[in-house]
Chains A and B, each alone.
Chain A
Amino acid sequence: DGGITQSPKYLFRKEGQNVTLSCEQNLNHDAMYWYRQDPGQGLRLIYYSQIVNDFQKGDIAEGYSVSREKKESFPLTVTSAQKNPTAFYLCASSIWGTVSNQPQHFGDGTRLSIL
């Protein structure tokens, strides 16, 4: 079954600690994305990648970092510089482009909380 796997489902961070959220897809999609969702707000784009070894900042990249060493994987690191990291993090993948009717597919999310 093709899909997107995010892990862990729940994650707790201590003050001053970096944590990494995993995202793996087997849909053979070129593009991958990280979103943050806060209660009562829409999804906000953190980083996205159109192709291996390349990625761009989204609307709220400060305090986050990513890598794209393999097509299937797009891990997100929440650094200690992110002062308000408590949120629901969603990873997505898609065919890249502006004309495709194919949607972004989402993983089940990781809920990050501060200890």
Chain B
Amino acid sequence: GQNIDQPTEMTATEGAIVQINCTYQTSGFNGLFWYQQHAGEAPTFLSYNVLDGLEEKGRFSSFLSRSKGYSYLLLKELQMKDSASYLCAVRDSWGKLQFGAGTQVVVTP
């Protein structure tokens, strides 16, 4: 079966760092995507990992360990606008995305 787990909510202070973990068990693996979604809006693409290791993109970094079925998204120098839901999605053997329920990040002043 398919299972993608993320924490439901995380709270952090402006300027701090937050790490959002994602564990997965899926039918095949062909890459992992992270999306950001503000309430009532479309998800927007943040990062993609297919090989083990860290991908860095400005304030956002994403890490993947395929052997552990584990990824994390690291948000540095948090800003108020980073308050949003962060979705972990795994592309399966057939090319479809399986999404986690999302992690709501709340940034406080």
Chain A interface residues toward B at CB < 8 A: 31, 35, 40-45, 48, 58, 88, 90, 96-99, 101, 103-109, 111
Measured between beta carbons, the chain A residues less than 8 angstroms from B41 are 108-109
B33 contacts partner chain A, Cβ-Cβ < 8 Å: yes
Measured between beta carbons, the chain A residues less than 8 angstroms from B43 are 43, 90, 106
Per-position 1/0 for B73-104, Cβ under 8 A of A: 00000000000000101010111110111100
B4 contacts partner chain A, Cβ-Cβ < 8 Å: yes
Asked if A103 and B96 sit within 8 Å, CB to CB, the answer is no
Binding site secondary structure of chain B: loop
Asked if B42 and A103 sit within 8 Å, CB to CB, the answer is no
Measured between beta carbons, the chain A residues less than 8 angstroms from B44 are 106
A42 partner, pick from B30, B96, B99, beta carbons under 8 A? B99
Asked if B96 and A58 sit within 8 Å, CB to CB, the answer is yes
Asked if B101 and A108 sit within 8 Å, CB to CB, the answer is no
Asked if A97 and B95 sit within 8 Å, CB to CB, the answer is yes
Q: Of all chain A residues, which has the CB nearest B95? A: A98
Cβ distance B94 to chain A, nearest Cβ, rounded Å: 8
Cβ distance A51 to chain B, nearest Cβ, rounded Å: 12
Q: Of all chain A residues, which has the CB nearest B45? A: A103
Q: Of all chain B residues, which has the CB nearest A101? A: B48
Measured between beta carbons, the chain B residues less than 8 angstroms from A40 are 8, 101
Most central of A43, A104, A107 by chain B CB within 10 Å:
A43
